[in-house]
Structure 1
Amino acid sequence: MAIRIVRIPALSDNYIWLVHEPDSGETIVVDPSEAEPVLAEADRAGWRIGAIWNTHWHPDHTGGNAAIKAAHGATVIAPAAEAARIPTADHLVGEGDRVALGAVEAVVMETPAHTAGHISFHLPAEQALFCGDTMFAMGCGRLFEGSAEQMHAALGRFAALPPETRVYCAHEYTLSNARYARHAEPDNDAIVERLETVERAREAGEATVPTTIALERATNPFLRAATAEQLAQRRAAKDSFRG
């Protein structure tokens, strides 16, 4: 792996991703919910943040944009379909566009459902995916502005990525997702085993992301949904699940 990726916990359960390409010295940050921990980590590492990549407009993904821009002169790269809701945006992107981090290239994937214009950033050469709130470890985002059909299509695109692809989602939701996954697929031994692993990790105060496409293929009931209808049923059940 040519790039360095630093996980920065923020707010109550967010993760911000600070990404550095050592050959060029370039650094970007993905979905900064707040600026202070990002600026502190960049200062500690001696990195200057050249760009901010936003996956969608929600404030817990864009709240740090303005302060990071002011401190580092960073360019905000954001989904074109949500331009009106991200006033700090400088460069708007959509399906198939490419953005660079030094010599490393990210391909923009339009993955709407959680929000109407949600995008994800796939770095093929680095086998990395920054998917915001479209997919979580063992879960998916709520369907606030889109449909189950859109989410099913987006997760299908993720499932088709190489199994070793590391998935950098934006929240620590894995324990509650794993408990629902066991309910949704009680005979799935891989889910039972992963739930035990996640419980141990959270009891020790450890993070459970990044995950991988291979793990999600085996244990994510939303990515594993055979149809959009089944995904919709599972999403509705998860929204009210209290297990």
Structure 2
Amino acid sequence: MIVERIWTGNSYRNYNYLIACPETGEALAIDPLDHEKTLNTARVRGWQITQILNTHEHHDHTGGNAAVVAATGAKVIAHHLAGSSIAGMDRGVRAGDIIKVGKTVELECLDTPGHTMCHICLRSHTEQPALFSGDTLFNAGAGNCHNGGNVVDLYTSFAEQLSKLPDNTQVYAGHDYIENNLKFTLAREPDNAAAKALLPEVSGHDPANTIVTTLGEEKQFNTFLRLTSPGVIAQLRQNFPDLPANPDPQTVFTKLRELRNTW
């Protein structure tokens, strides 16, 4: 499996992705908002885009579909309940469905509601596992629930699915928010050594060439994966004095998301 991360350079700080089969040159485009960069990257690499996967229905992830389909004839894949909100969808997928790319690439669909209720993450069946997490899991952060989402469902997607993936899983998120997210981590857990060490590395970085984190690394500096940390809980109690002595992880996640909404 070959992964090409495409930095759009737009105000939303989107990443688009191409996943290609090295044997056939067939490629899957994930959320190809910047259709020009996506098509040009495929052209330069000698790949043929045969499929598009939208992680969810928001326009900054679907806006390039029509142009890529017009240029390539690619089939559009998304959550099986997203047909009314994603025009021209050809295939609706559910949890456990497999998307094949060429002869060698298999990607498993994870149904991960929360950011929206029709959100798909992709998990690769490869020796080096990868997760294409859309707007559910960000590098050092978590998606918001402002536009059709639900914070309890987002927590459940984290707790019951994403956090249980292998620690060496590489995390390919839908946006570059890592610098700001690490600053939020340090506001919530000032003594977090991993966040302190990484922040200078990504401050003022070129998003086109920034690091790719692993899930194991995320568990060290992503506050939304550190729900039982005494430091996180102690700091949270300063904002929410009525927090129980031993709050459950869902409560911690919900309160962190509430703070992040206005941070």
Q: What TM-score does the superposition give when structure 1 sets the normalisation length?
A: 0.93
Pairs aligned (count): 237
CA shift digits 1:220-242 (9 cap, x unpaired): 0012224111111111111211x
Amino acid at match of 2:261: D
CA shift digits 1:179-204 (9 cap, x unpaired): 001011112211211222222xx346
Percent of paired sites with the same residue: 36
Q: Please identify, of 106-115 and 23-32, the stretch whose mean Cα deviation from structure 2 is larger.
A: 23-32
- Using the TM superposition, give the Cα deviation of residue 25 of structure 1 relative to its aligned residue in structure 2, in angstroms: 2.0
Q: Please identify, of 174-183 and 184-193, the stretch whose mean Cα deviation from structure 2 is larger.
A: 184-193
Equivalent residue for 2:2? 4
Q: Within 2, Cα distance between the matches of 1:211 and 1:92?
A: 29
Equivalent residue for 2:184? 180
Tell me if structure 1 keeps the 8 A contact 2:25–2:46.
no
Equivalent residue for 1:159? 163
Equivalent residue for 2:257? 235
Is it true that 1:128 corresponds to 2:150 in the alignment? no
Q: What TM-score does the superposition give when structure 2 sets the normalisation length?
A: 0.86
- Using the TM superposition, give the Cα deviation of residue 207 of structure 1 relative to its aligned residue in structure 2, in angstroms: 3.9
Q: Within 1, Cα distance between the matches of 2:44 and 2:255?
A: 46
- Using the TM superposition, give the Cα deviation of residue 34 of structure 1 relative to its aligned residue in structure 2, in angstroms: 2.5
Q: How does 1:61-140 map to 2 (within 5 A)?
A: 61-102=61-102, 103-125=104-126, 126-140=128-142
Amino acid at match of 2:153: Q
Tell me if structure 2 keeps the 8 A contact 1:172–1:209.
no
Q: After the TM superposition, which segments of 4 or more aligned residues of structure 1 sit over 3 Å from their partners?
A: 203-209
Is it true that 1:142 corresponds to 2:164 in the alignment? no
- Using the TM superposition, give the Cα deviation of residue 209 of structure 1 relative to its aligned residue in structure 2, in angstroms: 4.7
Equivalent residue for 1:16? 16
Q: Within 1, Cα distance between the matches of 2:223 and 2:62?
A: 29
Q: Within 1, Cα distance between the matches of 2:171 and 2:205?
A: 22
State the SS of the aligned residue for 1:85. Answer: coil
Tell me if structure 1 keeps the 8 A contact 2:176–2:207.
no
Structure 2: tracts of 5 or more residues without a match: 229-248
- Using the TM superposition, give the Cα deviation of residue 98 of structure 1 relative to its aligned residue in structure 2, in angstroms: 1.1
- Using the TM superposition, give the Cα deviation of residue 208 of structure 1 relative to its aligned residue in structure 2, in angstroms: 3.2
RMSD of aligned alpha carbons: 1.5
**Greater Rg over alpha carbons, structure:** 2
Tell me if structure 1 keeps the 8 A contact 2:7–2:208.
no
Q: Please identify, of 124-133 and 163-172, the stretch whose mean Cα deviation from structure 2 is larger.
A: 124-133
Is it true that 1:219 corresponds to 2:217 in the alignment? no
Q: Within 1, Cα distance between the matches of 2:120 and 2:2?
A: 22
- Using the TM superposition, give the Cα deviation of residue 205 of structure 1 relative to its aligned residue in structure 2, in angstroms: 6.0
Q: Within 2, Cα distance between the matches of 1:206 and 1:46?
A: 21
Q: Cα distance 1:206–1:80, how it changes in 2: closer, same or farther (>3 A)? A: closer
CA shift digits 1:131-159 (9 cap, x unpaired): 10001100010012232221122112212
State the SS of the aligned residue for 1:22. Answer: coil
Tell me if structure 2 keeps the 8 A contact 1:172–1:207.
no
- Using the TM superposition, give the Cα deviation of residue 130 of structure 1 relative to its aligned residue in structure 2, in angstroms: 0.6
Q: Within 1, Cα distance between the matches of 2:108 and 2:6?
A: 23
State the SS of the aligned residue for 2:224. Answer: coil
Equivalent residue for 2:29? 29
